């Protein structure tokens, strides 16, 4: 098993007028290729901050982060953008689709940015999340749950090395959420995509190979799960 990434004593402190907020306060772990990690924790515990550091959207204020053996670029450098483009698929907590592009065009754009436009795969992915009838509509013409599913299809469209999801199924009903998670897990297995999903929903644990719990910016538990299924 190859080690994909390693965080060591990661800190993300914010200076605020009221004092220092330690959003991440000494987080350390390694993630092996192919793992699917569920990140659980109360509101304000640091989950989104951790995903933003993992994706290099944000930089830690301390500690070390290596990806495929190299230091991850920091501090709003252009290299952060190329790192993300090359490695990361991200479904945001407040998904952001481009409103002037259709559902299909939103997917094609991401493929184009990462240098592999593949309309056939884009349509397959939209089928996978149950949106084959909506491909030519604009985000403003579909429901919140459907927009979320477009964001999910988009996140795997470029075959990222690391897929990150923040409350991925938060806007979906139970049945759709199960369908989408099953499709996602299958895509991850087929393409050996490593994933970290933030959620409040303990029900998603069954889709994971590992569960990390975080509280007040610290890891409070880290366990392998469902090991017999793999």
16 near ligand ATP, rule: CB under 6 A:
yes
The CB density around residue 52, as the number of other CB atoms within 10 Å, is 20
β-strand pairing of 19-32 with 3-16: antiparallel
41 binds, among ligand ATP, Mg ion, none (CB under 5 to 8 A by kind): ligand ATP
- From its phi and psi, is residue 226 left (phi > 0), alpha (psi between -120 and 50) or beta? left
Asked whether position 46 contacts ligand ATP by CB under 6 A, the answer is yes
Using the contact rule CB under 6 A, the part of the chain among 44-52, 60-68, 143-151, 169-177 near ligand ATP is 44-52
Site string for ligand ATP, 132-171 (x = CB under 6 A): ----------------------------------------
* Number of Cβ within a 10 Å radius of residue 113: 11
Q: Does 48 bind ligand ATP (CB under 6 A)?
A: yes
Number of residues interacting with ligand ATP: please give it, by CB under 6 A: 12
Q: How far apart are CA 125 and CA 131, in angstroms?
A: 9
- Pick what 69 binds: Mg ion, ligand ATP, none; C-beta below 5 to 8 Å, kind-dependent: none
What's the order of all strands across the beta sheet hosting 210-215? 88-91, 162-166, 194-199, 36-40, 210-215, 218-224
Task: Please name the residue that has the structure tokens 């491909």.
Answer: 135
Listed ranges 23-31, 46-54, 168-176, 221-229: which one lies at the site for Mg ion (CB under 5 A): 46-54
Binding-site member from 9, 20, 30, 44 for ligand ATP (CB under 6 A): 44
Task: Check binding of 48 to Mg ion (CB under 5 A).
Answer: yes
From the list ligand ATP, Mg ion, none, pick the one residue 55 interacts with, judged by a Cβ distance below 5 to 8 Å according to partner type.
none
Residue closer to ligand ATP by CB (options 16, 70) is 16
- List the one residue from 23, 157, 183, 188 that touches ligand ATP (CB under 6 A): 23
Is residue 52 involved in binding Mg ion (CB under 5 A)?
Answer: no
Select the span of 13-21, 25-33, 102-110, 151-159 touching ligand ATP (CB under 6 A): 13-21
Q: How many residues bind Mg ion (CB under 5 A)?
A: 1
Q: Is 178 exposed, middle or buried (0-12, 13-18, 19+ CB in 10 A)?
A: middle
Q: Does 169 bind Mg ion (CB under 5 A)?
A: no
Burial class (CB in 10 A: 0-12, 13-18, 19+), 139: buried
DSSP string, 165-199: EESTTTTS-HHHHHHHHHHHHHHHHHHT-EEEEEE
- Residues lying near Mg ion in the complex (CB under 5 A): 48
């Amino acid at each position: 098993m190859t080690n994909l990434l390693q965080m060591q004593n990661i800190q993300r402190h914010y200076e605020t007028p009221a004092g220092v907020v330690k959003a991440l306060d000494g987080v350390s772990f390694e993630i092996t290729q192919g793992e699917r990690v569920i990140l659980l924790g109360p509101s304000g515990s640091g989950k989104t901050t951790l995903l933003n550091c993992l994706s290099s959207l944000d930089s830690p204020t301390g500690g070390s982060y290596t990806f495929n053996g190299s230091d991850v670029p920091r501090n709003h450098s252009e290299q952060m953008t190329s790192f993300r483009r090359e490695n990361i698929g991200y479904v945001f907590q407040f998904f952001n689709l481009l409103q002037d592009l259709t559902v299909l065009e939103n997917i094609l754009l991401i493929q184009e940015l990462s240098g592999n436009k593949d309309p056939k795969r884009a349509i397959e992915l939209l089928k996978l999340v149950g949106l084959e009838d909506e491909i030519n509509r604009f985000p403003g013409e579909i429901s919140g749950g459907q927009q979320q599913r477009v964001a999910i299809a988009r996140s795997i469209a470029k075959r990222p090395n690391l897929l990150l999801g923040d409350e991925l199924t938060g806007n979906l009903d139970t049945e759709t959420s199960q369908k989408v998670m099953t499709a996602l897990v299958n895509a991850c297995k087929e393409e050996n995509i490593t994933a970290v999903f933030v959620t409040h929903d303990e029900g998603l644990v069954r889709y994971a190979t590992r569960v990390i719990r975080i509280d007040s910016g610290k890891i409070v538990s880290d366990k392998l799960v469902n090991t017999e299924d793999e």
